[in-house]
C-alpha cells in the first residue's frame, strides 16, 4: 500500500498506474527502471503497479503502445555512442503518450551520457508524454566486465529508490490541485518538460578514436563463435534484441549487431567473443580512460 497524500484529498476517476517500459540488452536498464516504478507505486496513495513493457525483443516493437493520463511510465534505454540507440528511433516515434506522465531514464557505461537523456526526453514529449523527472544511471559497460563492473550496485539502487521518492513527491504536488487523471496530466503539461543536461541541436554520435585522433569504425563488428564451446542452448537467440541470431544457427550473428553484448555476456559457456583489433583497442581505451566511479545524475 502507498502512503497517503498529505493535504486536501484527491478524488480520481481512475487510479494512477505506475509501470516501467524499457530496452535492456544485458538487464541493467531493466533493473533500475523497474525498481523506480516499484517505489513510485508504493509512494503514491491509490496507485497500482501495472505490467511492465519490455521492448527489447524485436516482436515487442512491432506494435503501437498507447497510454493515457492515468499512466506514469518510467521509460528506460541504454546510451549508445552518447545518444539514444538509433535502431530504436522508428519504434519510439510510434508511441502514443496520450498525456501520460513519464520519467525518462538512461543507463551509460561510465563514460558519459552526452545527449541521450535530452534526446529521450524530447522524443517522449513529442509523442504526447509529460516528463516530470529524469535520471542518468551507470551500468556495467556492454563491451567490458571491468568498466563499471557489477553496476548498478547497491549504492546505485539506493539512489534509484531516493529518485523515485522525490519524483513521487513532485507528482503529489501536481496532484494536489487535480481531481482527475486528466487534470493531473494538464498540471504536468503546464509545469513543462523536466530540465536535463544535454545540447540542442544534438551533437553527432560519439566516435571512438585512436591516440592520433583517427576514427575507429566498429559499426560492422560482430561477435564470433567458438564452435567447440557452443552447446546450441539457444540463450543467445533470445538475448539478441535485433533478432540477428537464428534458432537454426545459435551463436552466429547474421544481421544487425548493436554491440549490446547481451549474447556474449549471457552465454554460459563463453562461446561468443570479439577479436576485431579496433573494437578491442576501443574497449581497452575506455577501461583505462574512465576508471573513476561516476555517480547517477538526477533531474527533478
Q: How confident is the model at residue 13 (pLDDT cuts 50, 70, 90)?
A: low
E strand residue ranges, 109-250: 130-131, 134-138, 224-225
Q: What are phi and psi of 53, to 5 degrees?
A: -120, 105
37 and 183 inside one domain: yes
66 and 157 inside one domain: yes
Inside any domain, residue 282: no
What is the model's pLDDT at position 12? 42
Asked if residue 7 has pLDDT above 60, the reply is: no
Distance CA 226, CA 270 (A): 8
235 and 184 inside one domain: no
What is the model's pLDDT at position 2? 36
Query: Residue 134 belongs to a domain with what CATH number?
Result: 3.40.50.360
Count Cβ atoms within 10 A of the Cβ of residue 11 and give its class: 0-12 exposed, 13-18 middle, 19 or more buried.
exposed
Q: Compute and round to an integer the Cα radius of gyration of the chain.
A: 20
64 and 102 inside one domain: yes
What is the model's pLDDT at position 141? 98
Distance CA 44, CA 22 (A): 21
State percent of the chain over pLDDT 70. 95
- Spell out a b/e string for 22-31, using b for 16 or more CB atoms within 10 Å of the CB, else e: bbbbbbbbbb
Per the structure, the complete domain to which residue 263 belongs is given by: 224-275
Owner of C-alpha cell 553527432: 204
What is the model's pLDDT at position 180? 74
For 157-167, how does the pLDDT look when each residue is reduced to its tens digit (9 = 90+)?
999 999 999 99
163 and 27 inside one domain: yes
Q: How confident is the model at residue 172 (pLDDT cuts 50, 70, 90)?
A: very high
Asked if residue 17 has pLDDT above 70, the reply is: yes
Distance of CA 76 to the CA centre of its chain: 3
Asked if residue 1 has pLDDT above 50, the reply is: no
Owner of C-alpha cell 503514491: 44
Inside any domain, residue 40: yes
As a whole number of Å, the end-to-end CA separation of the chain is 24
Distance CA 97, CA 128 (A): 4
For 47-76, how does the pLDDT look when each residue is reduced to its tens digit (9 = 90+)?
999 999 999 999 999 999 999 999 999 999
Contacts of 35 (CB under 8 A, 6+ apart): 157, 160, 161, 164
110 and 230 inside one domain: no
39 and 145 inside one domain: yes
What is the model's pLDDT at position 135? 99
Q: Are 157 and 147 in contact (CB under 8 A)?
A: no
Mean pLDDT computed over 109-135: 98
Inside any domain, residue 197: yes
Inside any domain, residue 151: yes
Q: Are 276 and 218 in contact (CB under 8 A)?
A: yes
Higher pLDDT, 220 or 14: 220
Give ∠ CA 178-182-185 in degrees, rounded to 5. 80
Asked if residue 6 has pLDDT above 60, the reply is: no
Distance CA 103, CA 116 (A): 14
For 23-43, how does the pLDDT look when each residue is reduced to its tens digit (9 = 90+)?
999 999 999 999 999 999 999
How many independent structural domains does the chain possess? Answer: 2
Mean pLDDT computed over 94-98: 98
State percent of the chain over pLDDT 90. 89
Amino acid at each position: 500500500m502507498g502512503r497517503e497524500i498529505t493535504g486536501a484529498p484527491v478524488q480520481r476517476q481512475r487510479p494512477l498506474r505506475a509501470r516501467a517500459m524499457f530496452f535492456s540488452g544485458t538487464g541493467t536498464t531493466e533493473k533500475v527502471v523497474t525498481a523506480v516504478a516499484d517505489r513510485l507505486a508504493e509512494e503514491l496513495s491509490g496507485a497500482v503497479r501495472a505490467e511492465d513493457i519490455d521492448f527489447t525483443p524485436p516482436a515487442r516493437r512491432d506494435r503501437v503502445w498507447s497510454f493515457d493520463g492515468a499512466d506514469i511510465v518510467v521509460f528506460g534505454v541504454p546510451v549508445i555512442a552518447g545518444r539514444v540507440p538509433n535502431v530504436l528511433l522508428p519504434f519510439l516515434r510510434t508511441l502514443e503518450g496520450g498525456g501520460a506522465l513519464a520519467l525518462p531514464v538512461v543507463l551509460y557505461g561510465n563514460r558519459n551520457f552526452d545527449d541521450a537523456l535530452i534526446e529521450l526526453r524530447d522524443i517522449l514529449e513529442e509523442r504526447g508524454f509529460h516528463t516530470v523527472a529524469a535520471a542518468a544511471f551507470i551500468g556495467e559497460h556492454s563491451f567490458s566486465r571491468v568498466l563499471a563492473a557489477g553496476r548498478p550496485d547497491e549504492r546505485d539502487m539506493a539512489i534509484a529508490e531516493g529518485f523515485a521518492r522525490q519524483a513521487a513527491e513532485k507528482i503529489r504536488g501536481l496532484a494536489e490541485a487535480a481531481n482527475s487523471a486528466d487534470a493531473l496530466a494538464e498540471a504536468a503539461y503546464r509545469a513543462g518538460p523536466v530540465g536535463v543536461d544535454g545540447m540542442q541541436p544534438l551533437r553527432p554520435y560519439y566516435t571512438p578514436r585512436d591516440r592520433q585522433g583517427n576514427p575507429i569504425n566498429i559499426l560492422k563488428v560482430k561477435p564470433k563463435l567458438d564452435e567447440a564451446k557452443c552447446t546450441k542452448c539457444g540463450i543467445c537467440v533470445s538475448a539478441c534484441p535485433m533478432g540477428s541470431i537464428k534458432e537454426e544457427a545459435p551463436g552466429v550473428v547474421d544481421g544487425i549487431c548493436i554491440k549490446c553484448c547481451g549474447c556474449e555476456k549471457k552465454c554460459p559457456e563463453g562461446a561468443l567473443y570479439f577479436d576485431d583489433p579496433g573494437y578491442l583497442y576501443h574497449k581497452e581505451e575506455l577501461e583505462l580512460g574512465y576508471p573513476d566511479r561516476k555517480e547517477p545524475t538526477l533531474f527533478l
